[in-house]
Structure formats: C-alpha cells, structure tokens
Amino acid sequence: MKARGWTLSSTDRYAYLKEDESTSNFYRTFYTGVDYAVVAFSNDDNVRDMDVEIETSYGTTIEEDNDYDPWGIVVFSVDYTRTLGIKMTNFLSNSPRTASYCRFLVFYR
C-alpha cells in the first residue's frame, strides 16, 4: 500500500471470529478531502472470505466489500467530516466452528 501512496493510520483492530460472525462497529472519524482504504484479513488460512463494511451509526451502509476473497477491501471518501463504523465479517471458513484471528487496518492518502 505504501508504494501506491497510502499511509497506515493508527487504527488497527482485531477479533476472533468464527464463520458468519461479525464484529460490532468500531467508530472513528473520517475527514473530508482524504481517501481511505480499509483492509480486513485473517492471519491464518482458515478464512476463505472476509468482508468489511462502513456504516453510519444508524446502520446505513456507506461502502462494503462482499467479494468472495480472503481480503475485504473498501476504498472511499466522505463529503463531510463524519464518524462512521467499521465492521468485519468472517463470511466463510474452511473450519466453520474454529475462531480465526481477523483484523482490519485503515490507510489514508
């Protein structure tokens, strides 16, 4: 990501998720005039499909990744400075009842 002009923010969260489990929203402020990329992934080979979603506090989806991929990635910007939630989901695993270490990182440029 650094080679593409992205800077890693201090936002780095993790959770242990089984198949079909999601985190609650982690809220942070996003600023106008900045592009953001949120990357969700697992450190083990169990997770086959990781998804990530950006939501308002009212549950409205701003951006989401629902591709079949072990990396959940969304790229977005906001029209005005606002606080939004980040939620990640272990959508599909090789061993559904095994909790996998999942995490997301936030980049900006």
Domains of the chain, start order = 2-108 (2.60.120.380)
Q: How many CB atoms lie within 10 A of CB 50?
A: 27
Q: How far apart are CA 76 and CA 65, in angstroms?
A: 11
Cβ contacts of 72 within 8 Å, gap of 6 or more: 38, 39, 40, 41, 50, 51, 52, 65, 88, 89, 104
Q: How far apart are CA 21 and CA 69, in angstroms?
A: 16
Q: If residue 18 lies in a helix (H) or strand (E), which one and from where to where? A: none
> Rounded to two decimals, what is the model's pTM?
0.93
Question: Which tens digit of pLDDT belongs to each residue from 65-87?
Answer: 989 999 999 999 999 999 999 99
Question: Which tens digit of pLDDT belongs to each residue from 7-60?
Answer: 999 888 999 999 999 999 999 999 999 999 999 999 989 999 999 999 999 999
